[in-house]
Structure formats: structure tokens, C-alpha cells
Amino acid sequence: MKRKNTSPNTVKNYLHGLKHFVLWLDVPIETVTYRKMSSYIDYLISQRLKPKTINCYLNGVCQFYHYLTDEEGMQIVNPVKKPNIMKLPRGLPKHLKDEQIEILFDHLKGYRDRAMFMLMLRCGLRVEEVAHLALGDIDLKRRMLFIQDGKGAKDRIVYISNDALYALLDYLKVRTANKVRKVFLVEKGPLTGQSISIRGIQKRMEYYARKTNLKISCHHLRHTMATQMLNADTDLSTIQDLLGHNSIRTTQRYCRVSNLKVQRDYYKAMEVIMQRTACNRNSESD
């Protein structure tokens, strides 16, 4: 995984899933069968894990067996096959309504939290991209952020809206001056002054979710940005570049939730259709 320049967070998740599997296993690794993997899936289901989480565990095990055969030269059969992979519901990307955004930001405490979540909402940043954002990645004059090593080890440039810029400037004015390069720092506890972790940011969002009784996550803010831009008639290719999607198909998922654009397109098309129908009737009566 390191040879492929996989992110440290991805490596951590794979190792966690593999450890989970090995601790459950009661037979040698090389003797695991398809039936044994089915029992493992049944166990994961009994633990009330979500299908997406189960698939992540299975994918980690599958890649490990590929490693054993390709790198270690072991003559074994990979017990993870396609039938093992659970079918996922193709749910719509979840976004926040305007009133939910207002409630959330009314409850935010401090300049740091407002700046972090405003960058997610206005710039479409992932939580790990906010956590890894460095001071040198900010270009205030040109109102740009340079996102390094985003998902898929891709770099990209995103732009900063007025409200996000003001939120970021307000935070930078009160940010503790130290040698830490990362923008967002821990403000309480023994780790004060160190860069805030991905989990630390997620915990802040979980705190506000409890305070507001809203079902929200950091990724909901990114989805909201994409949906709002699509409703503002932004080209899909532009949204794809800003979000850092590899495939335009990923971005097209937002078309299914962009109700305002669908509504406008529908009524616009119906007006044309009804006008044509009326013209045809008039010509026939003549």
C-alpha cells in the first residue's frame, strides 16, 4: 500500500479491518474457505455493521490474500469472491436545507469551528483536507486554497467565497502563533496548540449534531455545496474539478437531488411542449 502511495488514513483503516478479521478467525489464514467467509459476514451482520463497513472489511481481506499470492508466492485461493460483497443501496447524496445550515451555524462556538465548517460548505473540502490544510496552502490575495494530496493523492485548487474568507481571516487573527504548519489547532486539553486531527473535527460536528438535533456530518456540508452549485446552474465539469472527483459519473449523482434545477427544467420544457400543442391545434382548426 505504501508503494502505491496510499494515504496513512487508508492504511490505518485497512489494518484495522484486517486485525478485526484475524482476531475473529479460528483457523489458519491459508485454510480459509468461501464458506468461512460467509460465516464471517454473518458475524459482521450480527454486530449491526452497515453494509458499506462490511464491504470495507471484506475488501481489506481480499487485498491481503492478493498480497499473499502475488508477493509471498503462497499457493492459496482467495476466499473473498464477488458474491461475498454485499450489495449497497444507491442512496442519494444527503445535503442540508437552508434552514438547517442556519441552525448549525447559529450554534457554532468560536472562530475555529466556524472557519473549518465554512470551508467545507463553501469550498467543498473533505474533513481530511481541512485537517491537513497548511498555512502555506492559503493564498489570500487570490482567494485560493491549494489542496495537496487529496483523495486519490490528487492536488487541486479551490476558491474561497466572501463569507468563507471572512471566517478564515477571523480565525487566523486569533490563532495561536507557533511553529505548527497546519491551519487548525487543538484549543483545549493536553494537546493544545497541536494540529487538530480528522477525528477531532468529526467529534466537533457530532457535538453540534447533538446540540441542534440535526442528522448531520462533515460530508453533508460538501454535498450541500455541490447541490447548491448545481441549483445555481453551474456546469457539472466545474463542480467535478472543485470537488476533485475522478469521474463525472460521481458528480452526476447530485443531479438526482438537485430538485430546483429539475423543477426549472421541467416547467421550462412543459411551456415549450404546451405552446407547440396549442400551435398544432390552431393550425388544424384553420
Q: What ranges do the domains of the chain cover?
A: 8-84, 98-259
pLDDT at 151 over 70: no
pTM of this structure = 0.67
- Is the pLDDT at 115 greater than 60? The verdict is yes
Half-sphere exposure of 264 (CA within 13 A, CB side): 8
Contact 139, 146 (CB under 8 A): yes
Digit-coded pLDDT (tens) for 202-231: 999 999 999 999 999 898 898 888 888 887
Distance CA 150, CA 146 (A): 10
Residue 182 pLDDT more than 90? yes
Q: How far apart are CA 278 and CA 286, in angstroms?
A: 12
Which pLDDT score, from 0 to 100, does residue 175 have?
A: 92
Q: Which residue has the higher pLDDT, 270 or 194?
A: 194
Which of 149, 109, 118 shows the shortest CA–CA distance to 221?
118
What are the catalytic residues?
A: 126, 151, 219, 222, 245, 254
**Which region among 139-143, 167-171, 253-257 has the lowest average model confidence (pLDDT)?**
253-257
Whether residue 72 is predicted with pLDDT greater than 60 in this model: the reply is yes
- Quote the pLDDT of residue 273: 85
pLDDT more than 90, % of the chain: 44
Exposure on the CB side of residue 126, measured as CA atoms within 13 A: 17
Of 193 and 260, more confident: 193
**pLDDT for the residue 284:** 65
What confidence score (pLDDT) does residue 116 get? 96
185 pLDDT above the threshold of 90: yes
Of the ranges 69-78, 86-95, 108-117, 246-255, the best mean pLDDT one: 108-117
Query: What pLDDT is attached to residue 269?
Result: 87
Question: Does residue 172 have a pLDDT over 90?
Answer: yes
Beta carbons of 222 and 125 less than 8 angstroms apart: yes
Tens digits of residue pLDDT in 85-109:
767 655 555 678 889 999 999 999 9
The CATH architecture to which 98-259 belongs is Orthogonal Bundle (1.10)
* pLDDT score recorded for residue 285: 66
- Show contacts of 228-235: CB within 8 Å, 24+ apart: 228/95, 230/254, 230/255, 230/258, 230/261, 231/258, 231/260, 231/261, 233/261
> How many angstroms separate the CA atoms of 172 and 170, rounded?
6
pLDDT for residue 205: 95
256 vs 126: which has the higher pLDDT: 126
Q: Cell 486531527 maps to which residue?
A: 197
* Whole-angstrom distance, CA of residue 73 vs CA of residue 67: 9
Is the pLDDT confidence value at 69 over 60?
yes
Taking residues 122-126, what's their average pLDDT? Answer: 91
Q: Where are the beta strands (DSSP E) in 73-143?
A: 138-139
Q: Which long-range contacts (CB under 8 A, 24 or more apart) does 207-210 make?
A: 208/104, 208/107, 208/108, 208/113
| Residue 259 confidence (pLDDT) | 58
Pick the CATH number of 8-84 from 1.25.10, 1.10.287, 1.10.599, 1.10.150: 1.10.150
pLDDT digits (tens, 9 = 90+) for 14-66: 899 899 999 999 999 889 998 899 899 999 999 888 888 888 889 889 999 99
Residue 173 has pLDDT above 90, yes or no: yes
